[in-house]
Each structure stands twice: as C-alpha cells, then as structure tokens.
Amino acid sequence: MDASYSDRSESTWSFHYTSDPLTRYLRDRRLRVALGILMDQGHLDPANQSVLLVCGGIGGEGTFLRDIGFQDVTVSHVSQEALERCRQFDPRLHTRLLNAEDMKELPDDRYDLVLVQDGLHHLPRPVLGFTEMLRVARV
C-alpha cells in the first residue's frame, strides 16, 4: 500500500488536488450532496463540529471539508507515507495513522461526523470498518 504513496510522480496523486473543474466535480459531488442533506436537516455546524475522514489517503477530501468551513478535520489512513503527503499538501489537516477495521485507540462518540468516500472497498472486512465508524461517531 505505501508503495503507491511513495511514488513521487505527480500523475499518481495529482487528481486529489487538481484544479480541473470536471475532476473536482466528480470527486466532490457526493460529499456536497450528503453534506447538503445534513445542512438542510439542521444537523451540520462546520465551525463547531469535528470530522474524521476514514481511509482518507493524501487528504483531498479533507481539504474540501476545510475549504467549506470545517475547522477540525482529521484524515486517517493505514499508510504513514500517505499521511505525510497529506500534511505537506494541507497543513490545516490533522492526521492519524489508523486501521479502519480496528480504531480501538479512539473512544466511543469521539467525532461529530465520520466519513468515508472511496475506502471501504479496500478493507478485507468492510463491515468492521463501518461498525468502527459508527462507534466513534456521535449519535
């Protein structure tokens, strides 16, 4: 896994931080829709809520969340190299080395919002990852 993040060629990771409007739309659309629903229902207060992004890679979605107003965004991933790149790209983000299937170092109800966009399918036991996300999310 780390090998893909140690690749220094821009083509490997550039889509995460591209300014290309089509690529940005395709990557951010689902987040905008989901967050819009939460906002419409009155469940979202970006300035005062913490977010954990699970399987967050180099943090493209974390930057998106910061840019729309979330102040406390943590990007988690199993690759230390991915998290180092994340910190390089956006120092505003917190990072945490976590196995999404076993986040025992996090207490129950730790984050207001826990998100995964394209990560569960990488897990050998995605149900465990989803269960852990539910456990660390505030109800």
Six-digit token pair at 41?
Answer: 């229902």
Nearest to 15 by CA among 7, 27, 30: 27
In sequence order, what are the residues at sequence separation of 6 or more whose Cβ sits closer than 8 angstroms to the Cβ of residue 17? 60, 63, 89
Which pLDDT value is given to residue 5? 47
Q: How far apart are CA 16 and CA 18, in angstroms?
A: 6
Per-residue pLDDT of the chain (139 residues; tens, 9 = 90+): 445 545 544 455 565 677 788 877 887 888 999 999 999 999 999 999 999 999 999 999 999 999 999 999 999 999 999 999 999 999 999 999 999 999 999 999 999 999 998 888 889 999 999 999 999 999 7
Cα angle 12, 15, 16; round to 5: 100
What would the pLDDT profile of 61-99 be if each residue is shown by its tens digit?
999 999 999 999 999 999 999 999 999 999 999 999 999
Are the CB atoms for 89 and 118 separated by under 8 Å? no
Q: How far apart are CA 93 and CA 1, in angstroms?
A: 21
In sequence order, what are the residues at sequence separation of 6 or more whose Cβ sits closer than 8 angstroms to the Cβ of residue 81? 2, 5, 6
Six-digit token pair at 55?
Answer: 């399987």
